[in-house]
Amino acid sequence: MKVIVLASNNAHKVQEIQSIFAEYKLDIYIISQKDVLGDSNIDIDETGSTLQENAMIKADAIYSITGLPVLADDTGLEVYSLDLAPGVYSARYAGEHGNDSANRKKLLTSLTYKTDRSARFRTVLHYKDSHHSFSIDGICEGNIIDQERGNNGFGYDSLFIPIGQTCTFAEMSEISKNTISHRALAAHSMALHLSSLKSSHHIPQEISYCILVSIFASLNKSEELSKLLQKAFEEGYTYLMMYEALLQVYLFAGFPAALEALSVLYEVYGSQSLKQSEEYNVERFIQRGQATSKQIYTTVYDKMMNKLQKISPEMSEWMIIEGYGKTLSRPGLSLQHRELCIIAILAAGNWKNQLYSHIRGALILGISPAIIQETCSYLLICNRIKEYHSAMTILRILSEDITH
């Protein structure tokens, strides 16, 4: 699953684009910029001379702050007899930004002696991530009438009748307007284009599911977990993979969380045959646990174990035997993919010291910072804004340390 930030705080826009993307079976989750930046007041100067430039400016600005994939839009009314004015200046056509009434009045005045009243609404959607940057248009052709009609919508909606319609946008229901609107058309085109970029996801789709079920389990979000597991089942992802992701939750979020989650898994997938549990061989688990721990913690392994031994000899022993030897060395998920699930759980719980250790371990295992950030971005689906930024701070510190 890819999390994309919409450079807007308009909840309706988020919902509209999310709904359209769902029609194309895109495994994309749209969040508003507030969902990642909180109440931070981000003032972006839209200084472009075209709609595309403004959309690019917004996308670049939010991407530079968040590092997450971004969608940004800009919309304008373009009247053919006015040389496509007001265009990029649509929101401030009469001088004052956002004064819809004054803008409509100026438009009607400008068209007083014009016989050609054809016009188009145009939305430019710009997408930006670490590998791609492109724009897509959505255009709705129509005509400008000489008197306002309708009380819905905003901007120039009460003056614009789309071709093939008898009502202005302001006379239409929201649902009717959205089926033919410029923004909806742009979103449909964007969905088609993004579907061709599926292979560019950093994290394999099935591992995205493992990470998300781990987060939902650790936060005791049973309803969301059930829906996601149902989707995983329909997509053909195996019971074993989901089982392994949820089984290890007990190490980082406790037995209650793991048991509740595994119960949901059973309800969705039904009875599944798993191979018989591995024989409980303490000596083998110790050897395997020490090897796995040293692979993750490398040069700090001895220091960490000495400290843990002083704090709690029992925990020190259990971590090696139960944690790394018995659970995290199991087949079914690679160590790298297990680490991503662990990072997600620890980040969701804001366990900073443990998170620091596991992000460091993930980087040592060769997992890129981009993949770790994508993993943590799933927290934003659960509105864990503070926890996401806390994880990003740790990731930046560790990435700089490793680089230098």
81 and 150 within one domain: yes
212 and 191 within one domain: no
270 and 220 within one domain: yes
Closest CA to 192 of 137, 121, 140: 137
Q: Which residue has the tokens 């990003």?
A: 392
Whole-angstrom CA distances from 302 to 33, 234, 293, 298, 365 are 43, 45, 10, 9, 18
Model confidence over 150-180: pLDDT tens digits?
A: 998 889 999 999 999 999 999 999 888 888 9
222 and 174 within one domain: no
3-state secondary structure 310-365: HHCHHHHHHHHHHHHHHHCCCCCCCHHHHHHHHHHHHHHCCCHHHHHHHHHHHHHC
How many distinct structural domains can be found in the chain?
2
CATH code, 261: 1.20.1290.10
Q: Note if the bond before 86 is cis, omega within 30 degrees.
A: yes
- Give the pLDDT of residue 273: 62
159 and 235 within one domain: no
* DSSP state letter for 95: S
- Give the pLDDT of residue 125: 98
Closest CA to 389 of 117, 74, 4, 68: 68
230 and 164 within one domain: no
- Domain of residue 116 covers 2-199
Each residue's pLDDT expressed in tens, for the chain with a length of 404 residues: 889 999 999 888 899 899 999 999 888 999 999 999 988 778 888 889 999 999 999 999 999 999 999 999 999 999 999 999 999 999 999 998 889 999 999 999 999 999 999 999 999 999 999 889 999 999 999 999 999 999 988 899 999 999 999 999 999 998 888 889 999 999 999 999 998 875 555 788 899 999 999 999 999 999 999 999 999 999 999 999 999 999 999 999 999 999 999 999 999 998 776 666 778 899 999 999 999 999 988 888 999 999 999 999 999 999 999 999 999 999 889 999 999 999 999 999 999 999 999 999 999 999 999 999 999 999 999 999 999 999 999 999 999 876 55
> Are 246 and 229 a contacting pair, CB within 8 Å?
no
Whole-angstrom CA distances from 229 to 134, 181, 241 are 33, 34, 11
On whether residue 362 sits in a domain, the answer given is: yes
- Tokens for 99? 């004064």
Domain boundary among 170, 199, 228: 199
> Are 90 and 123 a contacting pair, CB within 8 Å?
no
On whether residue 311 sits in a domain, the answer given is: no
Q: Which residue has the tokens 């409980």?
A: 280
> Are 164 and 172 a contacting pair, CB within 8 Å?
no
On whether residue 66 sits in a domain, the answer given is: yes
36 and 65 within one domain: yes
Those residues with Cβ within 8 angstroms of residue 9's Cβ, 6 or more apart along the chain or in another chain:
32, 33, 34
On whether residue 399 sits in a domain, the answer given is: yes
- Tokens for 159? 């003056």
- Tokens for 334? 């690679």
- Give the pLDDT of residue 213: 98
153 and 92 within one domain: yes
Domain boundary among 180, 199, 218: 199
Q: Are strands 28-32 and 2-6 parallel, antiparallel or unpaired?
A: parallel
142 and 8 within one domain: yes
**pTM for the complete prediction?**
0.86
* DSSP state letter for 93: T
CA atoms of 353 and 337, how far apart (whole Å)? 20
Domain boundary among 144, 173, 199: 199
- Give the pLDDT of residue 200: 52
251 and 124 within one domain: no
CATH code, 86: 3.90.950.10
* DSSP state letter for 80: G
260 and 165 within one domain: no
Helix (H) / strand (E) element for 263: namely helix 255-269
Q: Which residue has the tokens 């939902």?
A: 216
On whether residue 309 sits in a domain, the answer given is: no
On whether residue 293 sits in a domain, the answer given is: no
- Tokens for 60? 């670049």
| Active site positions, annotated | 74
140 and 221 within one domain: no
CA atoms of 194 and 186, how far apart (whole Å)? 12
Question: What does the chain come to in residues?
Answer: 404
- Tokens for 252? 């980082």
On whether residue 388 sits in a domain, the answer given is: yes
On whether residue 32 sits in a domain, the answer given is: yes
> Are 334 and 203 a contacting pair, CB within 8 Å?
no
> Are 118 and 141 a contacting pair, CB within 8 Å?
yes
